[in-house]
Amino acid sequence: MGAFLALCFAAPYVLEYGPTDIVASPLQPPDGRHWLGTNELGQDLLIRVLMGGRNSVAVGLLGAGLATLIGTVLGMISGYFGGRIDQVLSRVVDVVIAVPVFPLLIILSAYYSLSLYALGLIMGVVGWCSCARIVRAQSLSLSEWPFVQGVRAMGASHFYILCRYILPFVIPLSMVKFIFALQGYLLMGVGLGFIGLGDAQTIDWGWILNHAFTSGGLSMGCWWWFLAPVGAIVVTSLSIAMIGYSLEQRQDPLSGGRFRWTLV
């Protein structure tokens, strides 16, 4: 999976032609020269898939990264300080968590033409809540432990405690959330592209699939138009999920995890 990702990112620098260049005769099935064949415009499909990979994964990364970051920070603050701050933030979470992300994206991209980054941004801004809740729970219980109270009594500032005492125990939870969010948002981005919304300028796997359908690929029997992007999506999505599960397992002390970040 790492190799695949690396390939996606390195592609434009390595390959001779870009995704939109028309390089060969159209509608060719995979052969020695063009490993995944070409589409009806003569664009090499392999390159399109690779470049598309960059964009799809980028959306996922941006969305998940932003969501995890916001969620972790707000969760820590909410759990550690408690009181009024916690009450206000919890109510905010209660409202935001009810917002359905995918339909929101559909509506917004139907009205405005959103760039890839805007998509990622919106995902991040709306999807931080579940991470925040988990982080809040952990921070809340941590702030009651004697070693945190002891260092407070010693005169440590709140910032110091949050960074050195709460954050190290919260990061493993956030990491797992990040990985699964990455998978989720990747698929969401692909889904948007597939139904024709999302950024028309940048290619991503959803768009490639969409293109394949709208250009009549089914009727023409160009199976390679579908196999490539679908294969890429499935492989990437599964690999991310596997990474997520193994991370989760590593942390869990009950299943013999090695990462003993948790306290019990």
Partner 1 sequence: MFEMHNVHKVFYQGQVLRRKRYVVHGATLSVEPGETLGLIGPSGAGKSTIGKLAVRLLEPSEGRLAFEGQDITHADRRTSRRLKAKMQIIFQDPQSSLHPRKKIGDLLREPLRLHRLISRSEEQEVVKRMLAQVGLNEEVLDRFPAEISGGEKQRIIIARVMALRPKFVVLDEPTSMLDVSIQANILHLLVTLQQKWNMGYLYISHDMRLVAKLCQRVAVVAKGRIVEQGPVDEIMARPRHPCTKRLVAAGGL
Q: Does 168 sit near partner 1 (CB under 8 A)?
A: yes
Token pair 């579908």 in the structure block, residue? 226
* Choice between 78 and 210, CB closer to partner 1: 78
Alpha-carbon span 202 to 52, nearest angstrom = 8
Question: Cα–chain-centroid distance for residue 192?
Answer: 14
CB of 70 to partner 1, least distance (A): 25
* Choice between 7 and 263, CB closer to partner 1: 263
DSSP secondary structure letter of residue 202: S
* Choice between 32 and 146, CB closer to partner 1: 146
Coil, strand or helix at 263: coil
Coil, strand or helix at 44: strand
Contacting partner 1 (CB under 8 A), which of 156, 167, 171, 230?
A: 156
Tell me the longest C-alpha to C-alpha distance in the chain: 75
Site for partner 1, residues 132 to 151, rule: CB under 8 A: 145-147, 149-151
Q: Does 153 sit near partner 1 (CB under 8 A)?
A: yes
Alpha-carbon span 97 to 105, nearest angstrom = 15
Q: Does 250 sit near partner 1 (CB under 8 A)?
A: no
Quick check: 124 and 63 in contact, CB under 8 A? Answer: yes
Q: Does 102 sit near partner 1 (CB under 8 A)?
A: no
- Residues binding partner 1 (CB under 8 A): 145-147, 149-156, 160, 164-165, 168, 261, 263
